[in-house]
Amino acid sequence: MISEATVKTHVGRILGKLSLRDRVQIVVFAYEQGLIAPTASPHA
């Protein structure tokens, strides 16, 4: 198990390397790069 501080450090470094502002932009980037695909919502 890793600590919350470790996760924050990794996220911060990813943001910096990709020149992104926040986690939402990471998700948008991942969609645009084909790293993740939309899935159907179980509540739809």
In a domain, 5, yes or no: yes
Amino acid 11: pLDDT: 97
The CA distance from 13 to 44, in Å, is: 35
- pTM over 0.75? The answer is no
Amino acid 44: pLDDT: 58
In a domain, 42, yes or no: no
Q: How many domains is the chain partitioned into structurally? A: 1
In a domain, 7, yes or no: yes
Give residue-wise pLDDT tens across range 1-44: 999 999 999 999 999 999 999 999 999 999 999 999 888 777 75
* Residue-wise DSSP of 5-32: HHHHHHHHHHHHHHT-SSHHHHHHHHHH
Amino acid 16: pLDDT: 98
- Give me the domain span that covers residue 32: 1-36
In a domain, 44, yes or no: no
Amino acid 39: pLDDT: 81
